[in-house]
Amino acid sequence: MKKILFTLALLFTLQNICFATTPVDFIYINGSNNNNEKMHKWFLKGIKKFHPVLKAQLEKDAYTYKFLLNNGEYVIEEEPSNYFWGYKSHADLMFMKERMDSLRFTSPWVAFFVRYTIAEIMHDAIWVQKTHNMIPILQELDKQVKEDIKQGKKVVLLGYSAGTFITMEYMYSKAPYINIAEWFSDKNLDEDLKTLIKNNPRKNTCVMAFVGSNLTMADPLGHIKVNSNKQEFIDAYKNMDAFTDKYCVPENSVLGIINYASPIPLFYSDTAEEDVDISKFYRSLYKYLIEHDFFFLTANYADDPLGFPNGANHTNDDIKAFAGLEFDNEEGFMYDYSKKISGRTFVGAHTSYWNSKKRFAKTIVKGYTEGHKFQYDPDTIAKRYEKLQKQNKNK
């Protein structure tokens, strides 16, 4: 009898080991114009209806089940989480509307309507990009993400409209992709500081810790400079690992980002400027994402007037060639899938993502599958190569 009980206990233990799973929290982030109670309810109602459909589609599809959910190791939480920042911009928006209302009876109606509409749409998108507004938002979101991590969860961030600025800034500011020794290798440091760095290696850090620690300073022109106060530099360097733990998100805790209705290219075109440190950091971030099995998917409806595509998709080999990047490991991908039609009106397409929940869920599945295959599927790569050969022959 004891042997039987022991065998049953062993089987039960092995079963639990074999079927151990990791919960994945999908955190939905709101966009512009969600700054009153009515729009807050609209946002929460929308994601609550949409999330179960997306979860079912991702689990049902063989490709996303294998690669995104790691053959069932990752299990998407039943209920959606959200990070709502809409109320933070409300006071500023009301201030602006009061100023516009002063022209209600003197401005031509068409001019007033256009002005009012543009202000409604654009205000929050501009407001959230200001550093003094963005940083508290990133810190609050970081608390939520780290609470998930404490509970053994992974995270996927979903940014809607201006919420895409937050998802992008979060990874830019919080991902630990900065190799401290490498970054200082070409800086004109005193010999004793070089020796300090060489003999006391620190783990990779993030922008927020790098600047917030007093090790470096950011100027208004987008450059990161070494702190000229030597003692402050030494003190900051000695405590860098503590700053990293405090301000950065742990590696591999965020699985990916899904951005939709995204106007990122309209507002972040400065990332293409090679002479500023911001662009250099984005290059390092891209390398980090590819090497850490991270996906960055943009899924806009093609008829959404505020959904801006990120441009042509590039293979990792393309990136290596024209950006001079090298990857130690290739698992992640960045992909734009902005070719599905919402079937709504021109005005309604931007707010139709949750209403057309099954269509949009399938769009995300298709975008993830196509993006992953674009980089890593042998058959897809072979077909693309054959197509390029034919095009070159016809030239």
Is this structure's pTM higher than 0.75? Answer: yes
Reduce the DSSP state of residue 83 to 3 states and report it. Answer: strand
For the chain, where are the E strands, in sequence order? Answer: 22-29, 74-76, 81-83, 154-160, 216-218, 224-226, 254-260, 295-298, 333-336
Token duo for residue 251 = 């590696």
- Give yes or no for a contact between 282 and 271, defined as CB atoms under 8 angstroms apart: yes
Distance between CA atoms of 116 and 97, rounded to whole angstroms? 8
Structural domains in the chain, sorted by start: 21-175+254-394 (3.40.50), 178-248 (no CATH)
Distance between CA atoms of 99 and 192, rounded to whole angstroms? 57
| Tens digits of residue pLDDT in 329-383 | 999 999 999 988 887 876 688 888 888 999 999 999 999 999 999 999 999 988 8
Reduce the DSSP state of residue 271 to 3 states and report it. Answer: helix
Token duo for residue 171 = 């990874």
CA distance readout (Å), 73 to 59, 157, 294, 376:
11, 19, 16, 21
Could you list the pLDDT tens digit for every one of the 395 residues in the chain? Answer: 555 555 545 444 444 444 589 999 999 999 887 777 888 899 999 999 999 999 999 999 999 999 999 999 999 999 999 999 877 765 555 555 566 556 666 667 566 555 556 666 666 667 777 888 889 999 999 999 999 999 999 999 999 988 999 999 999 999 999 999 999 988 889 999 999 999 999 999 999 998 889 898 876 666 788 888 999 999 999 999 999 999 999 999 999 999 998 877 655 544 444 554 556 778 889 999 999 999 999 999 888 877 777 777 888 888 888 778 889 999 999 999 998 888 787 668 888 888 899 999 999 999 999 999 999 999 998 888 787 777 777 76
